[in-house]
Amino acid sequence: MDCIRKRVNDEIERGWIGSNLECPYHPCHFWGQDCTFCYCPFYPCEDEDLGCSTQGKNGKPVWNCSDCLLIHRKEVGSYVMSEIRSRGITDARDHRMKDLFQDAKKRFWRMGKALMVVGATSDAGKSVTVAAICRILHRRGYLVAPFKSQNMSLNSKVTRNGSEIAMIQTLQSQAAGLKNPDHHMNPILLKPKGDDMSQVVVCGKPFADYRVKGYYDEFVPGPGIRIVKEHVDFMRRRYDFVVMEGAGSPAEINIYDKDIANMKAAEMADAAVVLVVNVEWGGSFAYALGTVELIPEKDRRRIKGIILNNVRGSTDSIRQGARKLEEMAGVPVIGVIPHVEVSLPSEDSEALRGVGGKGSGRYKIGVVRFPRIANFSDLDPLFMEDASVAYVQSPEDLDGVDAVILPGTKNTVADYKWMCAAGISDGLKALKGKVPILGICGGYQMMGSVMDDSVGMESGAAGIYEGLGFFDNRTVFSEYKKTVANREATLLRGDGGEVTGYELHMGQTEVGEEPLFRIERMFGDPWNEGSVKEDEKLFGTYLHGCF
């Protein structure tokens, strides 16, 4: 294929392809392009089943094959290269390449198999079960990926291409041996903003805010079903196996006909279903049997097995009950899984309910426990150090802390009001200059002098709010636009050091302080990020994952 490489090099020398140093192999045609495609002998195939047109870095349309359904299958490349040699093709412009392309498409175009894991309750162990199945299939040589049609989580991650998906899907993709998860694995993400309001993220980008009724009455029967169908079909074409995860219970009879996260999604994917039950909670047999019986017969037939999960002690004691459950439910118990300590990020703040702290290290880190705390997986590295985390819900909880963190939040204004009403803001002001105080994302916005929500974009009620005043910063929430980006940064204080993180926030901040980080860019000049007042021990940044 030297001729193809030479052709690409010639194009670069003529300036037809812009440089992209993010790619370890070769300059790319457009932002985020995997340079593997520069050497695809069919490029540009212009087959809309496999790719689409996108805007190049020069502003002109170029062919985008980052979601190509053929090139991601390893056996396709082996077949194509073998056929090129056997057919005596020496130039990618040979007319026989079109025939070879169609032959490859017919040979490898197929739908993968789907398996769905549902839970009798929340926290049944669905996520870990999906990750385990992905790992097993990956080790057996299959191309496998996780999929969750609709996830509700405030712990999210930014993909390589700048899309926002739930954190757990990125971890499951790692178990599947995939380096670069994408939005197809979690096409709909719900991020609660209040008791009855969520931001709906579609295909990794903010779509709209919905109340519960509006979501089920308008979004689900409208774009929701179509989005799930399109993405589950895409995943099945791209992978040998798609391991799907349900949400909550699949037997919520009050919304059953509008539930696109469980049995409806299984139907779209023609998936076999496995029901997981958390035995540790007690009442597991009732949960399992009740779930099976509440599901309509046409969907119940998809349930091929039950897994009794999280069994403490000997599993022998539960096997008699498992046999009775099989008889009553008409579904075999295919697994009894013992309790294992697993440290994975939680999906939402329910995991923190009733938890006063974590760890037993020497250094006590106070973390303000916002009602709408988000991306609290930022704290996970602290649990690996000589530190203990104390969740702060009152001024008294700040006693004896060695440092304080104001974490991210899904509603900066509402949680700031809560913090002031609880007296925590006064406690923080009393600690200023005595212990380090770090704000991350929403917490960083609160540390400024002003939060301008004049149009009610953040809180739903227009207003301009005075912040903690730790920094001479002004944050403005003026449009429904979210900053979503991965960042590589250099710490500008102390001994320096490199940090990799990601931004995920609404609002823009006008900074009047010295910066904490310098963001490196592959193209263009670097820029400063964050705020710092070392003499007052105050630090702020938008970078999640900075630890």
Per DSSP, the three-state class of 247 is coil
The answer to the question of residue 343 being in a domain is: no
Residue 77 sits in the same domain as residue 119: no
Residue 238 sits in the same domain as residue 128: yes
Q: Which of 43, 78, 108 is the last residue of a domain?
A: 108
pLDDT at residue 480, as a whole number? 64
* Residue 254 contacts residue 175 (beta carbons within 8 Å): no
Residue 361 sits in the same domain as residue 321: no
Tell me the residue range of the domain where 68 lies: 2-108
CA distances from 378 to 113, 247, 355, 383 (A): 35, 24, 17, 11
CA distance 393 to 373: 12
- 438 has a pLDDT exceeding 50: yes
Residue 358 sits in the same domain as residue 228: no
Residue 441: active-site member = yes
Residue 297 sits in the same domain as residue 430: no
Residue 376 sits in the same domain as residue 240: no
* Residue 517 contacts residue 529 (beta carbons within 8 Å): yes
Residue 184 sits in the same domain as residue 222: yes
The answer to the question of residue 344 being in a domain is: no
Residue 366 sits in the same domain as residue 260: no
pLDDT at residue 3, as a whole number? 53
Q: Which of 72, 183, 505, 544 is catalytic?
A: 544
What is the side-by-side order of every strand in the sheet holding 450-453? 463-466, 450-453, 474-476, 508-510
Q: Which of these, 142, 155, 143, lies nearest to 186 by C-alpha position?
A: 155
Q: Which of 270, 305, 338 is the last residue of a domain?
A: 338
Residue 374 sits in the same domain as residue 312: no
Residue 74 sits in the same domain as residue 186: no
Mean pLDDT of the chain: 84
Q: Which of 59, 75, 108 is the last residue of a domain?
A: 108
Residue 544: active-site member = yes
The answer to the question of residue 376 being in a domain is: yes
Residue 13 sits in the same domain as residue 121: no
Query: Is residue 483 very low, low, confident or very high in pLDDT (cuts 50, 70, 90)?
Result: low
pLDDT digits (tens, 9 = 90+) for 244-265: 999 999 999 999 999 999 999 9
User: How many separate domains does the chain show?
Assistant: 3
* Residue 173 contacts residue 146 (beta carbons within 8 Å): yes
Burial class (CB in 10 A: 0-12, 13-18, 19+), 110: exposed
Residue 507 sits in the same domain as residue 418: yes
Which of 41-50, 95-104, 243-252 is the most confident on average?
243-252
DSSP code at position 135: H
CA distance 90 to 96: 11
User: For position 527, which CATH number holds?
Assistant: 3.40.50.880
pLDDT at residue 319, as a whole number? 85
pLDDT at residue 221, as a whole number? 94
Q: Which of 40, 441, 505, 546 is catalytic?
A: 441
pLDDT digits (tens, 9 = 90+) for 378-426: 888 887 788 888 899 999 999 999 999 999 998 899 999 999 999 999 9
Query: Is residue 39 very low, low, confident or very high in pLDDT (cuts 50, 70, 90)?
Result: low
27 cis-preceded (ω within 30 degrees of 0): no
Instruction: Name the helix (H) or strand (E) containing 199.
Output: strand 197-202
Distance of CA 300 to the CA centre of its chain: 30
User: For position 193, which CATH number holds?
Assistant: 3.40.50.300
Whole-prediction pTM value?
Answer: 0.73
The answer to the question of residue 546 being in a domain is: no
